[in-house]
Amino acid sequence: MAIFVTKADGTKQLFEREKIVKTCLRMRASREVAEKIAKEIEMGINEGIETKKILQMIFRQLSKYKPSVKHQICLRRGLSLMKPKQFERFIRILLSEHGYKVTPNQIIRGRCVEHEVDAVARKNGETFIIEVKHHFNYHTPTGLDESRIARAVFEDVIEGFNLGLNSLKIDKSMIVVNTKFSNHARRYAKCRQIHLVGWSSPLNQSLQNMIEEKKLYPIPCLKGLNTAAKEKLATAGIILLNQLAAENAEKLGRQTRIPIDTLASLIKKANMILSEES
């Protein structure tokens, strides 16, 4: 019998067992384990269950096979817990790991005004101006305004180049966000040739895929990390789990004034997560 689940926005959709399998596989579970968990969850859900509760069930079941899961917050929520400036730094690192040469925080003279962009990135002979948008509510879609603004900046900068007001020849705009894009935003971006990178798009090159391919998980994905400690680590330049995993607790404790036993526990958890992701 068909079962409908409730999404975060209140809408209903048909339960799809394969989505649970894919979530487990993304978290490096074997196909056998993923299928087993999907079957157990399918048997235990009721009509109208919220999708966030299904995710909790996945984490609970998966922790039986992958102990590190009990130390993790889901990636999508972890990204939402970052501050906007931390997310910008994170995206610059992510793009660099994917072969872009990234120059942060550029001011470019357009025909009409000067524009501050989050980064300029170069790859395969193309130069992009990068705009990064962060949402604390990861269910909030990124709308049309960001795409329209990106297009306006792009046009003004191009005209500025043609007039000799700047020496930076820009080929494209790129917008990177931690949410999905609205239909209007995607249609406009396709028409105006703006490259959109969102949580689940484009196919095979989404933010989620880019992060998981390089195993670049942000610090907020780690359970047991309070806001004060997260801010101190960020001030010390540590925003990724692999950065934390490589640290010495005593040295980092002197730098951040976070208790050494707390840091030792966090470093151990980070290493456990990363080792099980290998």
Q: In angstroms, rounded to a whole number, what is the distance separating the alpha carbons of residues 231 and 86?
A: 10
Q: In angstroms, rounded to a whole number, what is the distance separating the alpha carbons of residues 71 and 266?
A: 9
At 277, the pLDDT band (50, 70, 90 cuts) reads low
Give the pLDDT confidence score for residue 9 in this predicted structure.
80
Question: How many C-beta atoms lie closer than 10 Å to residue 204's C-beta?
Answer: 8
Phi first, then psi, for residue 132 (nearest 5°) are: -115, 130
Least confident interval from 16-25, 92-101, 115-124: 16-25
Give the pLDDT confidence score for residue 278 in this predicted structure.
57
With a cut of 80, say whether residue 1 has pLDDT above it. no
Phi first, then psi, for residue 113 (nearest 5°) are: -145, 175
At 126, the pLDDT band (50, 70, 90 cuts) reads very high
Q: In angstroms, rounded to a whole number, what is the distance separating the alpha carbons of residues 17 and 108?
A: 49
How confident is the model over 26-38, as a mean pLDDT? 88
Domains of the chain in start order, with CATH, are 4-65 (no CATH), 102-205 (3.40.1350.10), 218-277 (1.10.150.20)
pLDDT digits (tens, 9 = 90+) for 245-262: 999 999 999 999 999 999
Give the pLDDT confidence score for residue 110 in this predicted structure.
97
The tokens for 157 are: 């900068």
Q: In angstroms, rounded to a whole number, what is the distance separating the alpha carbons of residues 42 and 55?
A: 12
More confident residue, 71 or 251: 251
At 275, the pLDDT band (50, 70, 90 cuts) reads confident
How confident is the model over 22-26, as a mean pLDDT? 87
pLDDT digits (tens, 9 = 90+) for 221-249: 998 888 999 999 999 999 999 999 999 99
At 26, the pLDDT band (50, 70, 90 cuts) reads confident
> Which residue, among 70, 66, 16, 25, has the nearest Cα to 45 in the 3D structure?
16
Give the pLDDT confidence score for residue 152 in this predicted structure.
96
Least confident interval from 69-83, 166-180, 254-268: 69-83
Give the pLDDT confidence score for residue 23 in this predicted structure.
87
Report the range out of 30-34, 99-103, 271-275 with the highest average pLDDT: 99-103
How confident is the model over 30-38, as a mean pLDDT? 92
How confident is the model over 52-75, as a mean pLDDT? 88
pLDDT digits (tens, 9 = 90+) for 46-58: 999 999 899 999 9
Give the pLDDT confidence score for residue 40 in this predicted structure.
92
Question: Are 185 and 201 in contact, with CB atoms under 8 Å apart?
Answer: no
